[in-house]
Amino acid sequence: MTNWRETIKEELTNGKLRCLKTGDRFRFECHPDCMGRCCNRADITMDPWDVENMARGLALSCADFVDQYGEMYYAADTNWPTMRLRHAAQGPCTFLLPDGRCRIYPYRPRNCRAYPVGRSLYIGPADSAGVQAVQADYFMLNTRDFCLGPGANRTWTLDEWLRDSDCTDFFRLSTAHLRVKALARDLHYREWNPGSPPMLLSLFLYEPDLLREEFDISEGDVDHRNFYYRRMEALKFLLINLAAEQGHRLNAGEAEDSGEVCTIDQARMTMLELMVGFLNNVDKQGYSW
Ligand code: SF4
Ligand code: SF4
């Protein structure tokens, strides 16, 4: 199984990737001779935020967007349900216009807007209270051989690039999802869920519009961004409880394992009712990069 952290280290060592520190400058500008090469046979992974943002941009429900443009796959190491842009992986992206521009440019996914900048974020194991420490977080320059962008005269710092491509907030939102994924890893999600994800998990990850409709939560009640953070918190709660049902807890030693992690029985409420409580009542936590 490929270890992506090892691959990144190797590519940083052999110069294929370049670590970008504050103040480093790099050359880049799209070249008219190769417009759109990067949108062909490209593996574009979408965050849950990308899915809802693109669906809104196209005036589609999230379910319709996923039906038409998404492809769910399961990460090899964790079995976590992950979404990619279906057509981009197989040939020209369906949003690529004949002149090489992107039809959905204002709401293109994070990976497209950040290119040629990529980020490596590693969230370490959660402690028994669920606190997750970031163990590695850095940006890298990852230009592809076919891309003529690095030959340009225009130069950027990392901050200038992130600002210009408007992806700072996309990375923040992505971090909240990566924290959920890291928790799933720590709770051995793959062991107790080797197949497709439980319906609630898919719903909270990829169908916020349906959630709003079902539970009558309008954008005026909770805006999209806060609703997203609340969904991520609810997903952590769901994972902790589903894992506890299977006997998996967060680093709880035998002596201190009181079983209190599983709150479902104590509260005598359904999982769904509790998760909806998160959507309505939990304020955004102090997320950092
Ligand atoms: S990012 Fe690179 S490959 Fe894509 S259009 Fe710009 S110059 Fe061409
Ligand atoms: S969404 Fe736009 S930028 Fe991204 S691969 Fe498709 S055409 Fe290219």
AA identity, residue 158: L
Alpha-carbon distance of 99 to 104, in angstroms, equals 14
Give, as one character, the DSSP assignment of residue 138.
E
Give residue 80's pLDDT: 95
Give, using CA atoms, the residue closest to atom 5 of ligand 2: 39
The Å distance, Cα 108 to ligand 2 centre, comes to 6
Amino acid 289: pLDDT: 38
Q: For 190, how many CA atoms within 13 A lie in the half-sphere containing its CB? A: 11
- Quick check: helix, strand or coil at residue 197? coil
Beta bridge partners of 29: none
Q: Which value, to the nearest 10 degrees, does the dihedral of the CA atoms of residues 247, 199, 211, 173 take?
A: 70
Give me ligand 1 centre to Cα 123, in Å. Answer: 31
- Alpha carbon distance 30, 60 (integer Å): 30
Q: What is the pLDDT along the chain (289 residues), one digit of tens a residue?
A: 456 677 888 888 887 888 998 889 999 999 888 878 899 988 999 999 999 999 999 999 999 999 999 999 998 889 999 999 998 888 899 999 998 899 999 999 999 999 999 999 999 998 888 889 888 889 999 888 889 999 999 999 999 999 999 999 999 999 999 999 999 999 999 999 999 999 889 999 999 999 999 889 999 999 999 999 999 999 998 999 899 989 998 875 443 444 444 444 444 357 777 787 778 765 544 444 3
| Nearest CA, atom 1, ligand 2 | 108
Q: Cα of 136 to ligand 1 centre, how many Å? A: 28
Residue 125: other Cβ atoms inside 10 A: 13
Give residues (CB < 6 A) around ligand 2.
Answer: 39, 42, 44, 88, 93, 95-96, 102, 104, 108, 112
Cis peptide before 116 (omega within 30 of 0): yes
Residue 25: helix, strand or coil by DSSP?
strand
Of the residues 35, 44, 45, 53, which should be mutated to test ligand 2's pocket, given the most ligand atoms within 8 Å of the CB? Answer: 44
Cα 239 to Cα 223: distance, rounded to the nearest angstrom: 24
- Which of helix, strand or coil describes residue 105? helix
Per-residue exposure over 175-204, b if at least 16 CB sit within 10 Å of its own CB, e if not? bbbbbbbbbbbbbebbeebeeebeeebebb
34 Cβ inside 6 Å of ligand 1: yes
Give the Cα separation of 27 and 25 in Å (integer). 7
Cβ-proximal residues to 23 (8 Å cutoff; 6+ apart), any chain: 157
The domain locations on the chain are: 4-281
Residue nearest to atom 4 of ligand 1 (CA): 38
Q: What gap in Å lies between CA 39 and CA 206, rounded to an integer?
A: 23
Contacts of 28 (CB under 8 A, 6+ apart): 116, 143, 149, 150, 152, 154, 155, 156, 161
pLDDT at residue 194, rounded to an integer: 92
Cα distance between residue 55 and residue 20, in whole Å? 32
pLDDT for 32 equals 83
Q: Please give the model's pTM, rounded to 2 decimal places.
A: 0.88
